Amino acid sequence: MRLFLNPASRAYLRGMAEEFHQSTNAIRVELNRFEEAGMLVSENRGNKKIYRANTSHPLYPDIRNILMKYVGLDQVLKEVIARLGHLELVYLTGDYAVGKDTGIIDLIFVGKMDKNYLIKLIDKAEKLIHRKIRFLSYEMEEWQQNHRALPDQEKFLLLWEKEAE
């Protein structure tokens, strides 16, 4: 999940071993298997080998969709976005945006919306997916002016964008 949920995510052996509290040998075996299957690509940076998901692999979209379903994001998108009406953008941020399964999903909604109705929809989605959802909501103008000031900007993963009319 660490590499496949967010296509911009990168990781290296020791960092993943520390993050998952596993030996470097166990992590190395799995990374090598994924790389041999063509699902991961790597590059050397100094003395570190950096891995990322191979987004051009034919199974990448399917794996990402499976992870979205596992986390429950597909249900959140289905329950919340379809009913809000004037939504422009939805971002995943926090732990899930970097591939950590902590049970708390952090979302940012951008657009004009009834915040009381959004709270009811989020509550319904939480019951469906059995995970806690934290969220921020912005109107488009407010988002455009202020989003660069938010911490960890590189950890925003665009989940949904309104189609151009």
Based on the domain organization, do 95 and 154 belong to the same domain?
A: yes
Same domain, 116 and 139: yes
Give backbone dihedrals phi and psi of 51, rounded to 5 degrees, phi first. Answer: -110, 150
pLDDT at 95 over 80: yes
Write down the mean pLDDT value for the chain: 84
The whole-model pTM stands at 0.65
pLDDT at 164: 63
Same domain for 135 and 76: yes
35-85 pLDDT tens trace: 999 999 999 999 899 999 999 999 988 888 888 788 777 777 776 776 776
pLDDT band at 29 (very low <50, low <70, confident <90, very high): very high
pLDDT computed for residue 84 by the predictor: 78
Give the model confidence (pLDDT) of 125-154 as tens digits: 888 888 899 999 999 999 988 877 776 555
Q: In the structure, what pLDDT confidence band is assigned to residue 106 with cuts at 50, 70 and 90?
A: very high
| Residue 17 and residue 51 in one domain | yes
pLDDT classification of 109: cutoffs 50, 70, 90:
very high
Q: What range does the domain containing 32 cover? A: 11-60
* 85 shares a domain with 18: no
More confident residue, 132 or 159: 132
Q: Is residue 3 part of a domain?
A: no
**Domain count for the chain:** 2
Q: Indicate if 56 and 89 belong to the same structural domain.
A: no
Task: Phi first, then psi: give them for residue 120, nearest 5 degrees.
Answer: -65, -40
Do both 53 and 93 map to the same domain? no
Q: How far apart are CA 46 and CA 23, in angstroms?
A: 22
* 87 and 156 both lie in a single domain: yes
For residue 118 the two structure tokens come to 């959004």
| Whether 40 contacts 51, CB under 8 Å | yes
| pLDDT higher than threshold 60 for residue 165 | no
Give the CATH number of the domain where residue 139 resides. 3.30.460.10
The Cα–Cα gap between 29 and 44 comes to 18
